[in-house]
Amino acid sequence: MQLLLITGPAGVGKSTLSWEMSAQLAAAQVAHAVIETDELDRVFPRPDTSELDRIQPGTIDVSSINLAAIWSTYRALGHTRLIMSGVMMHLHFDKRWILSAIPEARITVVRMQAAEPTLLARLAQREIGSGADEQAQRSIRQARRMASEDAEGIIVLATDGKRPAELAEIILRKTGWLNIGGQPA
């Protein structure tokens, strides 16, 4: 089971890249699934550990329970490739909850980066309302922290000046999900 984990600060283009990779894979007839991790724990009130332990003993994150449930359906349909996107500020921890949901996953991490002015411009296009300034500052903090972390074993993808289609093709070719002729890998 191959899992492309698309990470980066909020607003860098993770969802857009995931959607574009999906479109290119579909055009090449490559079976795959796409999950945005934000949707795995979008619940209020958040369940506490005792509620989660009742559902699945030892679990401390609702995302893991939901990912396992969704992936079991995709696996039953014969899928072996998954694109997941999310900020993933704590990559070691995030890999653990992902692997507890999908133990057979071989995870390839793609960390998207953009210069701060690019990131702020992208956020300005999507964030409106009273939380926009706070989101911009949070995203800049995320970007700075990720840029300072060790990138060994991670595909770092600079996004400035590149279109989503170009970025998707770079990643799909680099990971072998598409071969040179555009036919299924």
Alpha-carbon distance 108 to 3, whole Å?
Answer: 6
Q: Which of 3-17, 51-65, 120-134 has the highest mean pLDDT?
A: 3-17
**What confidence tens digit (pLDDT) does each residue in 13-25 have?**
999 999 999 999 9
Which residue in 28, 31, 5, 29 sits closest to 18, CA to CA? 5
Alpha-carbon distance 122 to 82, whole Å?
Answer: 26
The yes or no reply on domain 2-175 and CATH 3.30.930.10 is no
Predicted TM-score (pTM) of the model is 0.89
**What confidence tens digit (pLDDT) does each residue in 20-40 have?**
999 999 999 999 999 999 999
Q: 156 φ, ψ to 5°?
A: -95, 125
State yes or no: pLDDT of 182 exceeds 90. no
Q: Which two tokens stand for residue 14?
A: 């993770």
Across the beta sheet with 33-36, the strand order is 33-36, 81-85, 2-7, 106-113, 154-158
pLDDT score for 13: 94
pLDDT score for 183: 47
**What confidence tens digit (pLDDT) does each residue in 106-152 have?**
999 999 999 999 999 898 888 777 778 888 999 999 999 999 888 89
Beta strands (DSSP E) in the chain are: 2-7, 33-36, 81-85, 106-113, 154-158
**What confidence tens digit (pLDDT) does each residue in 68-89 have?**
999 999 999 999 999 999 999 9
